[in-house]
Structure 1
Amino acid sequence: MKNIVITGGTSGVGLSIAEALSIDNYVIIIGRHKEKGEASARRLGKSVTFIQADLSMPHDVNRLQNHLKETIDKIDVLILSAGVFPNNGRENITQNLMSHYNVAMKVAPLLQSGKLLLVSGNPKAVNMVPICEKQTNYLERAAWVVTHKTLLMIYLSEKLKIYHIKVNSFFPGDVQSNLMPYTRNLTNKEVPVARHLVFEPSVNQKSGAFFDSHGHEVQLNERKYNFVAAESVLSAYINTTY
């Protein structure tokens, strides 16, 4: 049985992942809304607990860190699934990028020798769209988040080597959620790739890799996605001297 922490685990993709993993693991789901989180935990069963936290708020990240340290002796898997449909660039930066980085760095000592999995976007978009800092409309914000999340995965895969943490990202597939207008009408509620990446032995030594919804590794454009580029681009948003 593994200790698994899932941010954004109270709805959408995160909840689907939590449901699949709670069968034979202890799962902690993190979310902003108390009632929704408690209801999700009750529905998933006794192996699931809920912690309320708004991960865009530094004091909530600190509180989460302290709660986890008091509750469990280690984290085996951290899945960063939290996210919003951004109305502006600032919201995209704080909730879809900085929150992931802050959580990862804060809980890294508890995640020693474990796995960090970052939920990301469609592999075609990840490789095709340019890395651009413009966020004046929805398409630009969508392109920004998939490229910058991938850079974050590359960056963390190097940064967290000191803790022997394997860091990868994956596309969950098109899953029903309230995140975007088109996802509300989807019928799929399963994310089988999550169990594959948690338990498949062939993935255990992988780090800095991107996987599609079937668990196949996607070859990233190394001219775009490398540690030097990641550190340079992300230094505008995160404290790279953390």
Structure 2
Amino acid sequence: MKYVLITGGTSGIGLELVRNFARDGYGIVIVSSNSESFKKVKQKLEAEFDIPVVTYEQDMGKIGAAIRLYQRVKEDNLDVFILVNNAGIGLVGSTDKIDLQDDENMMILNVINLVELCKLYISDMYNKGRGKILNVSSVGAFQPGPYTSTYFASKAFVLSYSRAIRYEAKEKSVQVSTLCPGATKTNFFHREGTITPRSAMTAEEVAAYAYKLFMKNKSVIVPGFTNKIKNCLPVKLKMMFVAKMKSTE
């Protein structure tokens, strides 16, 4: 059976993407640091879709997590056909106020382990001559983000890296796409310490749109008409908007 491996797949956009893949008969591999969520999600998915769901408890915010996860999945002989790097966090505040260790952990999660998982699995995909990767970035990737500087920069890295390896992978019959959602009604903003914008899309809407275009081999996926329009605005204007929204000073 072909499996989809997705990090951060127990809630929000990740869980809704899982549901779309499960609906089409893929086996599911969910990676999360929250073991309490696993049991409920696994039971619901297996009951609703009659597909196998494998779970791995792994904190992807630690150095070496990608390699450890890859080795564990290999030992279980699971054929990962699709990799979805969805796990990510954001931090808000001026760069001098955000804790150094918190910033480092975010970069490890958002950038380092994402790259390492891509490198590990894309090599397998090249050898098989098939496979797909979906990296979750953000509309924040398209401009700098005052008072959320490292987070926006990490998502800009994800977008740039993903577009580059997509170019390389097309000759190997492997697809790489990037999802750049805008504000979404998940617990992301709660963890970040800010209020979810009223214009935010639901995770179900984002995932349904993303899944449809991912399966059509779209390079960069931006859900929502408003988000597409915002991307057309001058960078300085977008930076001012972000600064006003994120500043706590």
Residue 194 of structure 2 is aligned to residue 193 of structure 1: no
Number of aligned positions between the proteins: 204
Listed as ranges, the matches of 1:86-101 within 5 Å are 86=91, 88-101=102-115
Q: Give yes or no for contact 1:109–1:163 (8 Å, CA) kept in 2.
A: no
Q: Give yes or no for contact 2:138–2:155 (8 Å, CA) kept in 1.
A: yes
CA-to-aligned-CA distance 1:162-188 (integer Å, 9 cap, x gap): 854221101245433211133498672
CA distance in 2, matches of 1:214, 1:109: 33
Which has a greater percent of helix?
A: 2
Q: What is the letter of the counterpart of residue 19 of structure 1? A: R
* SS of 1:3 mapped into structure 2: strand
Residue 99 of structure 2 is aligned to residue 82 of structure 1: no
Residue of structure 2 in register with 1:238 after alignment: none
Label 1:89 to 1:158 Cα distance change in 2 as closer, same or farther (>3 A): farther
Q: What is the letter of the counterpart of residue 17 of structure 2? A: I
Quote the RMSD (CA, aligned, Å). 3.1
CA-to-aligned-CA distance 1:2-24 (integer Å, 9 cap, x gap): 42111111122111111221122
Give the fraction of aligned pairs with identical amino acids, expressed as a percent: 20
TM-score, structure 1 length as denominator?
A: 0.71
Q: What is the letter of the counterpart of residue 195 of structure 1? A: Y
Residue 151 of structure 2 is aligned to residue 146 of structure 1: no
CA-to-aligned-CA distance 1:42-72 (integer Å, 9 cap, x gap): 2222522211112233443223112222334
Listed as ranges, the matches of 1:91-240 within 5 Å are 91-112=105-126, 113-122=130-139, 125-127=140-142, 129-130=143-144, 138-158=147-167, 160=169, 164-181=173-190, 182-183=195-196, 188-190=202-204, 191-200=207-216, 203=217, 209-213=219-223
CA distance in 2, matches of 1:211, 1:146: 14
Residue of structure 2 in register with 1:10 after alignment: 10
Label 1:95 to 1:213 Cα distance change in 2 as closer, same or farther (>3 A): same
Q: What is the letter of the counterpart of residue 104 of structure 1? A: C
Q: Which has the larger radius of gyration?
A: 2
CA-to-aligned-CA distance 1:23-51 (integer Å, 9 cap, x gap): 22111111112122232222222522211
Label 1:184 to 1:39 Cα distance change in 2 as closer, same or farther (>3 A): farther
CA-to-aligned-CA distance 1:76-98 (integer Å, 9 cap, x gap): 21111001123553233111111
Listed as ranges, the matches of 1:12-91 within 5 Å are 12-23=12-23, 24-45=25-46, 46-47=50-51, 48-72=53-77, 74-86=79-91, 88-91=102-105
Residue of structure 2 in register with 1:227 after alignment: none
CA distance in 1, matches of 2:78, 2:123: 10
Q: Give yes or no for contact 1:176–1:183 (8 Å, CA) kept in 2.
A: yes
Residue of structure 1 in register with 2:94 after alignment: none
